[in-house]
Structure 1
Amino acid sequence: MKCVSVSVSVLLWVLWSQTHGVHIRLQNQNCSDGVDAAVLADLSAVIHRVDRRFLSVTIDASLASEEKFMYLLSSPKIRTLAGALSPAFVRFGGTRQDFMVFVPRRPGPGSGEAAEPSCAELDLPSWLEEKLKADWTQQKLILLREDLQRKYRRVKFTEPNSYEKKAGIRVDGYQLGQDFTRLREMMSESKLYRDAGLFGPDVGQPRDHRVDILEGFLQTGSGAVDACTWHHYYVNGRDTSLEDFLDPEVLDTLALKTGEVLQKVQLASPGKPVWLGETSSAYGGGAVGLSDTFVAGFMWLDKLGLAARLGLDVVMRQVFIGSGSYHLVDDNLDPLPDYWLSVLYKRLVGPEVLKVEASPSVARSKRVRLYLHCANRNRYGSGAVTLMAMNLSKKPARISIHALVSSGTVEAFVLESEQPGEDGLYSRSVRLNGVVLKMLDDKTLPDLNGLRLPPSEHLQLPAYSLAFFVLTDARAAGCE
């Protein structure tokens, strides 16, 4: 019999087991033959602990196409926005990163050179910021034209799979690993860089000869790097659609690719950390009108939840600022929906991942996706957990919890588009618990407070929404 219910109701039925696990039953209450299956969430132990800088960012290398645009990083607004994402790694990313040359410069005593000013001493004047933003708009058009013509200056080094396409030279993984090993030796002989980290090979996701590059690199270079890095994008930004951004099957491709990489790395170098050194929704600069809008948040939050659960240690978002349409901060230096999602993740989610498993019948739906971590201990007490939830459906969902955790306070942080319905998915604004998020001034973020729900209150998950539910009294043994 076909289910014709108007809304989907997800019931989390929690039973405290002898192993301190949590059983969650998902049931469609409006349909006699709806889904009725068990999901196990074990609060007794942590299955993986990510790096404290798990959510990290890249800066698009195109910003350095002319040195003057790098001064935008001294904007008070940019420094405020970046500070809210700390702690994090920062990496130059994008195609033009392949053609950047790092030149260390450190004035020595008696050299006659003045020391570089500290960040605290830098404050970009407002008039210069406005001029640079206007110039950057024109510069992006120039860079786009050069990309189409494959014009790149100062070709020195790259990612191997991209290098063959752009420079016409094939570098195999075995040779690349030897080069990394030699670089590590050179770093160990340097007083300045002997304690620095080395990460690579930053190869694209497994496909065709990229698999050979990764395998070859691991044979000769796995011992030289502190973490093995690779890149992942779900779709091609030039021909994707809104439906792709909401498609559970598209989201699940991350698990397949991650499994391939983890298997190869662990065989060659057991215990070696694996990072997503560059990642976003769509490659090719992102998808115009999608990657910088509310709908991109589903790919982003699902990637954060799934990557941590699978065992990746760091995820570096392409980009914090730069060209393309997958940025967290737009050309006017205003934060986009994925920025606010990232800040909430930083504030609410701890590095400890808890186990959640769904039965096959529940997995077939995939429209309501859940991930569970210990809550951020800098903000919440011992034993608290954060449930990350997303509803890819146009129908609302409802989450009910047993007295085990509902007897205490639940803080809800529900993100929705500024406009309701499917049209709102294209919005570049986001509401937190009904309030549109925007900076109060160039140096002040708004209060990002949760909504405190009374005990036994159902957790409401509106259509097309993203949410963090902090269960402050969960008493999770794995989080104490």
Structure 2
Amino acid sequence: MVMGHPGSGNRCACFAHFVTFCVVVLLFNTCLISAVVLKSVNVDMDMDLSHVARRVDERFLSVTIDASLMAEEKFMYLLGSPKLRTLANALTPAFLRFGGTKQDFMKFKPQSEYYLKNSYSGDSHPHSGPACSKFELPPVLEEELKRDWAVQALLLRQEDVRGKYEQVTFSEYAVDLLYSFVNCSGLELIFGLNALLRTPENVWDSQNAELLLNYCERQQYRMSWELGNEPNSYEKKAEIRVNGSQLGEDFLHLRKILQNSELYSSSGLYGPDISQPREHRKDLLPGFLESGAEAIDACTWHHYYVNGRDASLEDFLDPKVLDMLAVKTDEVLKIVHSLSPGKKVWLGETSSAYGGGAVGLSDTFAAGFMWLDKLGLAAKLGLDVVMRQVLIGSGTYHLVDNNLDPLPDYWLSLLYKRLVGPEVLNIQVLPSTGRQKQLLRVYLHCTNKESSSYRKGAVTLFALNLSKEQVVIDLPALVSNSTVEVFVLQSAEAGEDGLHSRSVRLNGDVLKMVDDRTLPPLQGAELPPGEHLKLPALSFAFYVLKQAAAPVC
């Protein structure tokens, strides 16, 4: 008979109790952690599928290229990048506005002798098919230009900080490169003319613009036009003051020039591209409309939420900051509707933060909250087109970075284009939700009819969760029988610090191009009917209700 060591039974019993205790503690802590992770707030929605509240232009989400790209003409070659053309084409239909501060410090300087030998010798022009390959940028040159552009962008930013702008010239070739880009990408060009070329009587001097117009007409370049950028800041930038009435006369003069052109007699003319209403120069827009409203096809103004030099992450997530768009839009719409009833109103230039954007914010995932909310709110308020500053260019609010790689707001824009149609429907978070109603922003449109994978009657709900808690959305009974295709966008990195990431995950997968000419498939995750919609903390998403059967869609 083998005897155990004295006390071994007691030790075994103690050990067993210890293990049991550890397991209980572990289970308790696991449950506690799970409770924290899964903490969520339920919200109820009300939606109206029987009535279209607004209808925006099919090119509602449009883009800009800042004229500073032309400050040194060689950088216009970047527009021949196959990668950039692929990215631009995916955002069509859209306008491309070429303008900004630098447009009012640029003059067209024809290189006639060169073009007599080349452009008129029977060669293909950029508006014809072969020119798309003719103006394509070779990879070696692209890499060199991207390196140089990174330095140029810093110089341009310093110029903007100083507020002193150098006069520059551009040739026919720069125009060819620009037109080739828009034509081969499928975009519609709006070219901004210099309004600071003025006579001693402070009237716009159109001679240089007519040189450019004549060249573009000879080349058969179809485009629309603007005149000047943010005229309310002319005094600060160039010590020239132009009142609203004179500005209207300048636009009427340009409209007459266009009407005398066979090609441009019915082309679009947009303006006055004023910055958002402030106490300073509040009289400019009324004066312009009183004298020149008949010259323009749409009234354009610019909007930014905050100053890029002192903006914070909290600004980008603050509902009160986001709501300021509605305040400023209301001011502009009241003026336009009272002085020029029925005139379309556009955001002719807009982004998160002025002054070139907020470093570490405007080109990160965090910027998507301002951008997606602006798209939803602008359409709801009745703005017809919203032009994002910028597709490519200086500053930090671009959609495509200096390496020509898409940033989070590009992917957001691409999903918007594919999933959201021009018809705006009414939706609201029900009041019982309390504080969560402010931190959850929701918008509803008919689904884009060009997306053949969705049947007639589908609607797209898109939502932003500004809170640090998951939101569970309970859909109303009228759409409870619909399957839902879900596209959740989150930062590529976890936690609040991850909001500064320059990459984005779609349903958990980081988005990136397959190669320079191929975008990835943007696939949703399907939920069966009756499932609640779970929107993670600090994220945004699109939900396509495939069998919503909305009669107006």
Which range moves more in the overlay, 157-166 or 393-402? 157-166
Residue 141 of structure 1 pairs with residue 154 of structure 2: yes
> Which residue is equivalent to 1:418?
492
1:138 aligned partner, one-letter code: V
User: What is the correspondence of 1:69-468 to structure 2 with a 5 Å cutoff?
Assistant: 69-101=75-107, 111-112=120-121, 114-117=123-126, 118-149=131-162, 150-154=164-168, 156=197, 158-357=229-428, 365-379=437-451, 380-468=454-542
Which sections of structure 2, spanning at least 5 residues, go unmatched?
1-35, 169-195, 198-227
CA deviation map 1:40-96 (0-9, x unaligned): 421101011100000000012111111110111110100110011011000124321
2:167 aligned partner, one-letter code: R
Cα gap change, 1:139 to 1:402, in 2 (>3 Å) = closer
Conserved? CA contact 2:43–2:429, under 8 Å: no
Find the aligned partners of 2:428 and 2:86 in 1 and give their Cα distance: 38
Which sections of structure 1, spanning at least 5 residues, go unmatched?
13-23, 25-39
Deviation at 1:478, TM superposition (A): 1.7
Find the aligned partners of 2:399 and 2:497 in 1 and give their Cα distance: 21
Cα gap change, 1:465 to 1:197, in 2 (>3 Å) = same
2:80 aligned partner, one-letter code: S
Query: Could you say what the CA RMSD is over the residues aligned between the two structures, in angstroms?
Result: 2.2
Find the aligned partners of 1:120 and 1:265 in 2 and give their Cα distance: 44
2:137 aligned partner, one-letter code: L
2:539 aligned partner, one-letter code: S
Residue 50 of structure 1 pairs with residue 56 of structure 2: yes
Find the aligned partners of 1:386 and 1:470 in 2 and give their Cα distance: 4
Find the aligned partners of 1:208 and 1:191 in 2 and give their Cα distance: 42
CA deviation map 1:371-429 (0-9, x unaligned): 00000111122111000101001110001224532323210000000112101100000
Deviation at 1:289, TM superposition (A): 0.1
Find the aligned partners of 1:363 and 1:59 in 2 and give their Cα distance: 41
SS at match of 1:397: strand
1:137 aligned partner, one-letter code: A
Deviation at 1:285, TM superposition (A): 0.1
Deviation at 1:10, TM superposition (A): 2.8
Cα gap change, 1:103 to 1:409, in 2 (>3 Å) = farther
Find the aligned partners of 2:339 and 2:309 in 1 and give their Cα distance: 36
Question: What is the TM-score with the length of structure 1 in the denominator?
Answer: 0.89
Question: What is the TM-score with the length of structure 2 in the denominator?
Answer: 0.78
Moved over 6 A (4+): 103-110
Which range moves more in the overlay, 331-340 or 374-383? 374-383
Which range moves more in the overlay, 138-147 or 305-314? 138-147
Conserved? CA contact 1:10–1:400, under 8 Å: yes
CA deviation map 1:106-146 (0-9, x unaligned): 98999547443422433211000000001111212222333
1:49 aligned partner, one-letter code: R
Deviation at 1:360, TM superposition (A): 6.1
Find the aligned partners of 2:430 and 2:331 in 1 and give their Cα distance: 23
SS at match of 2:277: coil
Find the aligned partners of 1:362 and 1:221 in 2 and give their Cα distance: 47
Which range moves more in the overlay, 377-386 or 143-152? 143-152
CA deviation map 1:329-355 (0-9, x unaligned): 000000000000000000000000001
> Which residue is equivalent to 2:19?
none
Cα gap change, 1:232 to 1:183, in 2 (>3 Å) = same
Conserved? CA contact 2:243–2:287, under 8 Å: yes
> Which residue is equivalent to 2:546?
472
Find the aligned partners of 1:460 and 1:228 in 2 and give their Cα distance: 40
Cα gap change, 1:68 to 1:265, in 2 (>3 Å) = same
CA deviation map 1:445-470 (0-9, x unaligned): 11101101122111110001110000
Conserved? CA contact 1:74–1:123, under 8 Å: yes
Find the aligned partners of 2:280 and 2:64 in 1 and give their Cα distance: 26
> More helix per residue: 1 or 2?
2
> Which residue is equivalent to 1:33?
none
Conserved? CA contact 1:93–1:278, under 8 Å: no
CA deviation map 1:258-290 (0-9, x unaligned): 001011101111110000000000000000000
1:143 aligned partner, one-letter code: L
SS at match of 1:58: strand
Deviation at 1:101, TM superposition (A): 3.8
Which range moves more in the overlay, 381-390 or 276-285? 381-390
Conserved? CA contact 1:99–1:158, under 8 Å: no
